[in-house]
């Protein structure tokens, strides 16, 4: 994750080590400007490859079996956040192969994988997944179903659970990693990073706000603002 100079969270993402001194960053929103500005004075090259890659997420308890069924032998050996290169047949009986990277990542909190490939191969991969998944309870889902799964897993979504510091319009609506329960992702021993001084000061005094998860009885989502024993304690961000 990365912050501004005041220690307010801009976004988070997943970093894949592709080779020695080569990394790929997957983010919720476009962050090229932030990376470009942060790279000033450093011996590093930054390249936008969003349009060069297509991605499909296969999530849930049968996801590993589905990927094995389309020919991704060994995918079961991937540990969380590990990735590897695989090939799969372009057609069930054809010799042509589709190259793709598979990572054991996702946004559901369940067993799951994300497949990264050339855009031209995405439709063939989708068709292969749907064909073998018909007997394994595989089906497409939308953002509403994903939102329920990620809330239950405690995963945060920018501009819903918090407003990115790059988009806030009103002072005081920014949030820091410490306020969002992400202090475990802040390494104060790694040396300088953007926002470190502000976050150290906040750590000493304690965060003014805290994002928490609530287990609400029944099926109705909580209202906002939220009251606990008659006292107003905050407002709902997502449900």
pLDDT in tens, 9-43: 999 999 999 999 999 999 988 889 999 999 999 99
Both tokens assigned to 217? 């009885």
Pure H helices in 32-185: 32-38, 63-69, 122-133, 143-153
Contact in structure between 105 and 56 (CB atoms under 8 Å):
no
Contact by Cβ (8 Å): 5, 194: yes
Taking alpha carbons only, the member of 195, 113, 213, 103 closest to residue 156 is: 213
3-state secondary structure (DSSP) of residue 127: helix
Beta strands in 20-141 (DSSP E): 22-27, 54-59, 83-89, 97-103, 112-117
Tokens of 124: 């063939």
Cα 153–chain centre separation = 12
pTM for this predicted structure: 0.86
Nearest to 182 by CA among 147, 166, 205, 158: 158
How does pLDDT run across 45-104, given as a tens digit for each residue?
Answer: 999 999 999 999 999 999 999 999 999 999 999 999 999 999 999 876 666 899 999 999
Tokens standing for 219? 């099926």
Cβ atoms of residues 164 and 34 within 8 Å: no
Task: Say if residue 121's pLDDT is above 70.
Answer: yes
């Amino acid at each position: 994750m990365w912050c501004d100079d005041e220690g307010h969270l801009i976004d988070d993402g997943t970093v894949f080590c592709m080779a020695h001194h080569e990394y790929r960053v997957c983010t919720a929103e476009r962050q090229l400007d932030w990376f470009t500005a942060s790279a000033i004075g450093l011996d590093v090259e930054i390249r936008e490859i969003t349009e060069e890659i297509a991605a499909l997420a296969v999530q849930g308890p049968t996801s590993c079996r589905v990927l094995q069924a389309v020919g991704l032998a060994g995918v079961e050996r991937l540990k969380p956040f590990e990735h590897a290169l695989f090939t799969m047949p372009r057609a069930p009986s054809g010799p042509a192969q589709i190259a793709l990277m598979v990572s054991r990542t996702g946004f559901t909190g369940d067993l799951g994988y994300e497949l990264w490939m050339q855009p031209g191969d995405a439709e063939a991969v989708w068709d292969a997944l749907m064909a073998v998944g018909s007997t394994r309870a595989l089906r497409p889902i939308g953002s509403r179903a994903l939102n329920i799964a990620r809330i239950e897993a405690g995963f945060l979504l920018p501009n819903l659970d918090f407003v990115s510091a790059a988009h806030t319009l009103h002072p005081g609506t920014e949030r820091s990693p410490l306020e969002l329960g992400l202090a475990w992702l802040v390494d104060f021993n790694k040396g300088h990073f953007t926002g470190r001084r502000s976050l150290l000061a906040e750590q000493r005094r304690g965060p003014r706000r805290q994002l928490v998860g609530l287990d609400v009885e029944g099926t109705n989502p909580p209202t906002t603002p939220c009251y606990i024993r008659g006292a107003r304690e905050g407002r709902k961000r997502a449900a």
